[in-house]
Amino acid sequence: MPEARTPAEIEADIKHRRGQLAATLDEIAVRVHPKTIADDAKARTAAALDRTAGRAYVAVNRTVTSARAQLVTEDGAPRMERIVPLALVTVAVAGLFVTARRRSS
């Protein structure tokens, strides 16, 4: 059987629990405050945007590195056998766009 507590011990326990309850209520008040909610939402949005931007940077970097590897040798010399056909296709496509645009105007 547990020992009987004195009135002073019970009173001290009640005082301690009131302090804990007050701290909990203060924390809840801060959490549900509109400014806190808005700040949390902004922080989550910023973090998500940072992650998305980071992923996009990595994807673009991989693409650029891959394209560079196709158009330049390991020692940095241009691969003309790949660059010239690519340039011709680019000019042809641009010419088609210009021609189509002129016809529609």
pLDDT tens digits, one per residue of 29-79 = 999 999 999 999 999 999 999 999 999 999 999 999 999 999 999 898 999
| Predicted TM-score of the model (pTM) | 0.48
Report how far apart the first and last C-alpha atoms of the chain are (Å, whole number): 98
Percent of residues, the chain, with pLDDT higher than 90: 88
Single-letter amino acid, residue 103? R
Mean pLDDT taken over the chain: 93
Predicted confidence at residue 104, as pLDDT, reads 84
Predicted confidence at residue 62, as pLDDT, reads 96
Predicted confidence at residue 1, as pLDDT, reads 59
